[in-house]
Amino acid sequence: MRPDSALPADDILVADLRNGVESSFALVVDAWSGSMLRLARSFVSTHASAEEVVQEAWLAVLQGIDRFEGRSSLKTWVYRILVNLAKKRGVKEHRIVPFAVLTAEDEGPSVDPARFRPPGDPYPGHWVAGGKPQPWPEPGSAAEQAETGRVLAAAVAALPARQRAVLTLRDIEGYSAEEVCAMLEVSAGNQRVLLHRARSTVRAALEEYFAAD
């Protein structure tokens, strides 16, 4: 859960940040830095690089708070700063391509077409026998839960940067589609495509793990 409910209203935070109130700055740093780090890691090559991006973002917030016009929430503004810095770092590290444009890695079928009945079948497009996703077993022991968590984390880490960023914000951090579009400056349609493909890829990895298990 995001701890935003414990924070003062934006107008109070903005005034405090402009007036150099250290306690208010500490509040937002504590509340948002964890998710900012996870988001930055979607764009850059190492955890250390992500930490540097977060530090640069907070410095940019302090330097630019007088220019904040309130057209978005304070949080969205902060995250946009973070994303812009992370994207620049990712480009330098040759990790990402332009973010807002869908590319070949975001196209094509997200589920193996062989799992559906072909054209000409009495029920084209329906699941073939055994093709429909099956419920996963509940991991029993702590060791099984930890192993499932590792498989899930590896699947998310392997996603392309755009897909990973959207999945991180939507399914891990719990932001709405509208918030994600604002933070990443992508269209609603692109956000849906990226999220669908990311979820499909992660689900496929978990299906493979449970089938092998």
pLDDT digits (tens, 9 = 90+) for 48-92: 999 999 999 999 999 999 999 998 899 999 999 999 999 889 888
- The verdict on pTM exceeding 0.85 is no
Q: Which amino acid is at 161?
A: A
In this predicted model, what pLDDT tens digit does every residue of 164-209 receive, in sequence order?
889 999 998 888 999 899 888 889 998 998 999 899 889 888 888 8
Find tokens 């709405």 and name the residue.
176
Distance CA 72, CA 94 (A): 30
Ramachandran angles phi, psi of 88, nearest 5°: -60, -40
The structure tokens listed for 64 are 């630019």
Q: How far is CA 194 from CA 10, 139, 165, 171, 173, in A?
A: 30, 28, 9, 12, 16
Distance CA 57, CA 60 (A): 5
